[in-house]
Homo-oligomer: A and B are copies of this chain.
Amino acid sequence: MHKVKNYFNLRNRLRKPDDYYYFCNSEIYEMLKKEVTIYEIAKLLNVSAATVSRGLKNHPSISKKTCTKIQETAKKLGYQSNALASSLRTSKSYTLGVIVPRLDSNFMSTVLAGMEKAAVEKGYHLIIMQSFETQEKEEKCAQLLFNHRVDGILVSTSSESDGMNHFSPFVKKNIPLLFFDRAPNGKHTFSSITINNRKAGYELTKLMIKNGSENILHITGNKRLLVYKERLDGFIQALKEFNIPFSPKMVWETKLGVEDGTNAAKKILTMKTLPDSIFVANDTCAIAITNYLQKKGIKIPGQIQVSGFNDDPFASLFTPQLTTVRYPGTEMGIVAVKSIIDLIKTKNKSPVKDILDFKLIVRESTDKIDTRLP
């Protein structure tokens, strides 16, 4: 009875000790909606809360017998550990923060699916937030995630993002920060997982040149984003290699949506000489362009070759099947999470720089130009 009293001082419960045993075995718990804590278990078993805490996680220093007793009682009482309290005490939340420009893109949802899977496998979970392509929201997300004491943060930057100062709290506190897909421009020492956009752009362009093109149009996204800038670089590199003079007029910057594609197609039709191929920086826009041009009687790939980027699920169902770059979304997600968990666990200081392999998917839409209609 002394012990019980002692606990009562500690925890300052309202109940009278005499009622305690009955109380624990009754339904009153639920009715009072009081949390079932390790103290409840402790009191019932006449052990200390510390022992319960250990027993619950099979701490080696606790006897098997006590362990099972504790776990059984926990189950009986419907005990659910409080992860918040645990995180507060241990300063480990097993939470990873994720910031993406938007959730609802084919590619992004694939990445996130991979991330979630890998995270759960390693005992982590994700708080996912959207920056909607603005720096302001990206900063707010970062703050919220910091306040929630995530163990690591995965970011695909917004197109607006300039400095990376909003991540300095993480850096200062040595909380791993890893960029995926869209990494910051310029020289920096951040960790990142990307694909070789430059090489992909290069190979796609080379393919079209080899198929007979000389007058290539590149329709791309916001050039401030490294992913697009590098595809462009690859494009230019290929032109150079084949002695095709480059001019900025060959590059159109758009938002790469369906409407942007339709508009681009309209504009193309007003050109004095049509391009003989179009390298579009994503599939959605490539298909929108193709679709419009086809409706206006242009033969694809007969008159114009078109290539996309991403290998969206419909790219192969579309007619003509779209040549594109397979961009390993799920894998990127998995690698990103595995890497960051590694950074968390090893407290490794050297940044990860991972460049994933892409796969060039060559399909009908870039068929050789000598198969052209007259």
When distances are taken between beta carbons in the complex, the residues of chain B under 8 Å from A149 are 82-84
Smallest beta-carbon distance A75→chain B, Å: 12
Chain B contacts for A258, CB-based, 8 A: 313, 317
The answer, yes or no, to whether A166 is at the interface (CB within 8 Å) is no
Residue numbers in B under 8 Å from A80 (CB-CB): 143, 146-147, 169
Q: Determine the chain B residues whose CB is within 8 A of the CB of A106 once the complex forms.
A: 104, 106, 109
Task: Tell me if A174 counts as interface (CB < 8 A to partner B).
Answer: yes
Find A130's partner among B78, B95, B116, B287 (CB 8 Å cutoff).
B116
- Interface 9-residue window, one of A44-52, A120-128, A222-230: A120-128
Task: Determine if A6 is an interface residue (Cβ-Cβ < 8 Å).
Answer: no
CB distance A81 to B317 under 8 Å?
no
Interface string of A73-115 (1 = CB under 8 A from B): 0000010111111011000010100000011111011101100
A107 — nearest CB in chain B belongs to which residue? B104
Most chain B CB within 10 A, of A143, A144, A317, is at: A317
**CB of A174, distance to nearest CB on chain B (Å):** 7
A148 at the interface (CB under 8 A from B): yes
Question: Shortest distance in angstroms between A331's beta carbon and chain B's nearest beta carbon?
Answer: 13
For the complex, is A318 an interface residue (Cβ under 8 Å from B)?
yes
- Least Cβ–Cβ distance between A150 and chain B, in angstroms: 10
Q: Is the CB of B84 within 8 A of A33?
A: no
A33 neighbours in B (Cβ, 8 Å): 173-174
Q: Are A85 and B82 in contact (CB under 8 A)?
A: no
A287 is contacted by which of B83, B113, B128, B314 (Cβ under 8 Å)?
B314
A288 contacts which chain B residues (CB < 8 A)?
A: 317
A103 is contacted by which of B84, B88, B112 (Cβ under 8 Å)?
A: B112
**In the complex, A112 Cα to B264 Cα: how many Å?**
30
Q: Does A337 contact B (CB under 8 A)?
A: no
Q: Is the CB of A82 within 8 A of B88?
A: yes
Chain B residue contacts of A143, Cβ below 8 A: 80
**Contact of A284 with B by CB under 8 A:** yes
Residues from chain B with a CB closer than 8 A to the CB of A267 are none
Complexed CA–CA distance, A110 and B314 (Å)? 17
- Residues of chain B with a CB closer than 8 A to A102's CB: 113
The closest CB in chain B to the CB of A287 belongs to B317
Q: Could you mark each residue 169-201 of chain A with 1 if its beta carbon is under 8 Å from any beta carbon of chain B, else 0?
A: 100111000000000000000000000000000
Q: Compute how far the CA of A317 lies from the CA of B117 in the bound complex, rounded to whole angstroms.
A: 32
A85 cross-chain contacts in B, Cβ below 8 A: 88
Are B112 and A104 in contact, with the CB atoms below 8 A? yes
Whether a CB of chain B sits under 8 angstroms from the CB of A216 is no
Q: In the bound complex, how far is the Cα of B291 from the Cα of A288, in angstroms?
A: 18
A54 to chain B, nearest CB (A): 18
> Cβ of A63 < 8 Å from any Cβ of B?
no
Q: How far is the CA of A87 from the CA of B120 in the complex (A)?
A: 23
A319 contacts the other chain (CB 8 A): yes
Docked-complex contact B84 and A88, CB < 8 angstroms: yes
B129 touches A127 (CB 8 A): no
Residues of A within 8 A of B (CB): 30, 33, 78, 80-85, 87-88, 93, 95, 102-106, 108-110, 112-113, 116-117, 120, 125-130, 132, 140, 143-144, 146-149, 169, 172-174, 258, 284, 287-288, 291, 294, 312-314, 317-319, 329-330
State the 4 A-B residue pairs at the shortest beta-carbon distance, nearest first: A109-B109, A104-B113, A103-B113, A314-B314
Given A80-B169, A104-B330, A291-B319, 5 extra CB contacts under 8 A: A78-B172, A80-B147, A85-B88, A103-B113, A104-B106
Q: List 5 A-B contacts (CB under 8 A).
A: A78-B169, A83-B144, A102-B113, A104-B109, A318-B318
